Amino acid sequence: MNAANAMNHVRIVEVGPRDGLQNEKQRISTETKLALIRKLAAAGLKDIEATSFVSPKWVPQMADHAEVMAGLPSGAEFPGVNYPVLTPNLKGFEAAVAAGAKEVAVFAAASEAFSRKNINCSIAESIARFEPILAAAQAAGVRVRGYISCVVGCPYEGAIAPQAVAEVAWRLRDLGCHEVSLGDTIGIGNPASVARMLEAVAARVPMAQLAGHYHDTYGLGTANVHASYQMGVRVFDSSVAGLGGCPYARGATGNVATEDIVWLLHGLGATTGVDLDALVDCGAWISAKLGRESGSRVARALLARRG
């Protein structure tokens, strides 16, 4: 890849198999999850969040995490594909590594109220909990990604100050996170508020180590991706068919659909390595499995065009 193409290449972190499915009420079989992962890899996605090593008491949908890890495609089947997993604590990290994880993610919040509601501790306490994980990860050669929730607004506190987000992002990077994903958990952001947040965060953490994770509650997920791309962000989280949401944010719809941002990014002249037609088929397949229409506007339009 030459320098010009590298500048316009966007890495998409597909979160559908974990973030997209974790709050589904109906039981989703391990076989279905693994089939989804294979279809996503076949469509060209190179970073696919596979599962979460959390207590089945809190997230029963992810109780089969070890089985999912055992069934992941081999490197020979899909070379260069990365399968990160979520690990909320050291116990989860150790279980993930024992299951073969090469990259894990930890999650904090930019809102004190959300942190206490979501993981029952303050922001400072949550980051302190990550210290042994980062130390163990460094010793084991495992990469760690950091997530930050509520980077624009919080269902309990309202608007979040950009400097508060920047502080948490800096602390995660300082601990050793190779990348920090900025999550608009309740989807309240717009291009102006997202730009203010990114400007503050980029003053503390290099843009090359930031990712955008936007929800589509008000239909502005792709607009926020566009604004972030214009500011230099080249990594975005998304979920096939717009699957997912947040159980702690009433009324929040799913993650921005992978199909929608691939359509947008290709239109902007960016490269993603993703086959949009194969991705649309994948989204239609999992939507049918779940008994619903795809949450992707682009997928619905393309499928209608096919007749």
- Identify the CATH number of the domain in which residue 24 sits: 3.20.20.70
The reply to whether 5 falls in a domain is: no
2: number of Cβ within 10 Å? 6
Which of 149-153, 169-173, 216-220 shows the lowest per-residue confidence on average (mean pLDDT)?
Answer: 216-220
Helices 191-202 and 221-230 pack at an angle, to 10 degrees, of: 40
Q: Which helix (H) or strand (E) holds 198?
A: helix 191-202
Count of domains for the chain: 1
Q: Which helix (H) or strand (E) holds 184?
A: strand 179-184
Annotated catalytic residues are: 246
The pLDDT score that the predictor gives to residue 119 is 81
Q: DSSP characters for 114-143?
A: HHHHHHSS-HHHHHHHHHHHHHHHHHHT-E
Of the pLDDT bands very low, low, confident and very high (cuts 50, 70, 90), residue 6 is low
pTM (2 decimals)? 0.95
The pLDDT score that the predictor gives to residue 118 is 80
Structural domain including 270 reads 15-306
**Helix and strand numbers, DSSP H then E, in the chain:** 12, 11
The reply to whether 254 falls in a domain is: yes
Q: Render pLDDT for 285-295 as a digit per residue (tens, 0 to 9).
A: 999 999 999 99
The pLDDT score that the predictor gives to residue 4 is 53
The reply to whether 8 falls in a domain is: no
In percent, the amount of the chain with pLDDT more than 90 equals 88
The reply to whether 6 falls in a domain is: no
Judged against a pLDDT cut of 90, whether residue 73 lies above it is answered with yes
Average of pLDDT values for 265-287?
A: 98
Could you report how far apart the first and last alpha carbons of the chain are, in Å? 37
Q: Tell me how long the chain is.
A: 307
The reply to whether 7 falls in a domain is: no
Judged against a pLDDT cut of 70, whether residue 76 lies above it is answered with yes
157: number of Cβ within 10 Å? 16
